[in-house]
Amino acid sequence: MPSLEVILAGSLLFSLTLYVLTGGADYGGGVWDLLAWGPRAKAQRDLIAKAIGPIWEANHVWLILVIVILFTGFPNAFAAIATALHIPLTLMLIGIVLRGSAFAFRTYDPKEEERRRWGHAFAIASLITPVLLGVTLGAIMSGEIRMENGYVTTGFVHSWFALFPFAVGVFALVMFAFLAAVYLTLETEDRDLREDFRKRAIVSGVAVGIMAITVFVLSEGGAPLMQSGLGENKLLLPLEIATVVLALGALILLWKRRFLIGAACAAAQVTLILWGWAIAQFPYLVVPDITVFNSAAPQATLRLLVSALFVGALLLFPSFYYLFRVFKSKPGPTD
């Protein structure tokens, strides 16, 4: 049976995966809101608002869960990340708040001009925040955050203000945009709108592949431990092959307008990208000094946290099922 530390690390990864697949797609919707063009630009923005409006706040529960697990279960890792990366984390928090506020104000402001301004704020925040999230993850895997005697010895800028973390940030952005475009093909029965987002999904899907290769190449100097893990861990070879197959399958299915299966492949592709990164980096939470084991809280705390997660899951998952059944059960395009 896996140790409590491994169980909680798995819960951390699972929560991050769900946040990317749900909340990440919401950010991607903001990107397409910013890039809406053509005679159907307003219809595109209306579809995005209709798709994310009922669920975007609930999707943030997964990010909150990531923070709670990290803070409670791995306090040393949380302290290191919050200290060394407080600048991008603070900016990301501002972006999350600004994005949500702007989305709400755009919906209810009675003046057209003001709604347009709030729409720009929503879209720009949706563009910047995923980049900052990716920058944070890139810095964590880079090996530039160092600890000595329990204290962070890294400066507040050096670990994240570099080419590799920003490449991961752009990778996160295009991945979120890809998910959003794929999901939006399922949100409308209007053929023209569906075609608009089908084309965006294919273009952004190609961009995901380009950025994946770019990040891997840059990791030789920017995150050598992660690159060696990707190349040497035998468990990752079938996962990497499956990721490539799913990526190609998603593009082919979108090309053939098999939207439902294409969306499933896209979600599975993004999931395997995250899991591949986690397996390559394991057991490190912050490369190269902080692992799942040397940063864990006392066993009594871990046991209580695992119990709380189990009880919480009994309430959370049925609630999410009900939420999505209420707001996402309308018939859409079929294969």
Torsion, Cα 131 292 71 8, to 10 degrees, reads 100
pLDDT score of 132 = 96
Average pLDDT score, the chain: 91
Tell me the three state secondary structure of residue 189. coil
d(CA 44, CA 184): 9
Residue 297 CA to residue 160 CA, distance in Å, equals: 26
Average pLDDT on 168-194 reads 95
User: Which residue, chain included where needed, has tokens 């819960």?
Assistant: 11
Give residue 278's pLDDT band: very low, low, confident or very high (50, 70, 90). very high
Count of CB atoms situated within 10 Å of the CB of 195: 13
Residues in the chain: 335
- Number of helices followed by number of strands (H, E) in the chain: 14, 4
pLDDT of residue 234: 75
In terms of Cβ atoms closer than 10 Å to its own Cβ (0-12, 13-18, 19+), residue 316 is middle
Quick one: pLDDT at residue 27?
Answer: 94
Q: What are phi and psi of 151, to 5 degrees?
A: -120, 145
- pLDDT computed for residue 231 by the predictor: 64
**Confidence (pLDDT) at 330:** 60
51-74 pLDDT tens trace: 887 787 888 999 999 999 999 999
Q: Tell me the pairing of strands 151-152 and 284-286.
A: unpaired
What is the spatial distance between Cα 224 and Cα 230, in angstroms, rounded to a whole number? 10
Q: What pLDDT does residue 334 have?
A: 47
Provide φ and ψ at 148, rounded to 5°: -140, 125
Q: Is the peptide bond before 288 cis (omega within 30 degrees of 0)?
A: yes
For residue range 280-333, what is the model confidence (pLDDT) as tens digits?
899 999 999 999 999 999 999 999 999 999 999 999 999 999 988 888 766 544
Residue 147 corresponds to which tokens in the numbers above? 């600890």
Q: What is the largest CA-CA distance in the chain?
A: 61
Over residues 231-259, mean pLDDT? 90
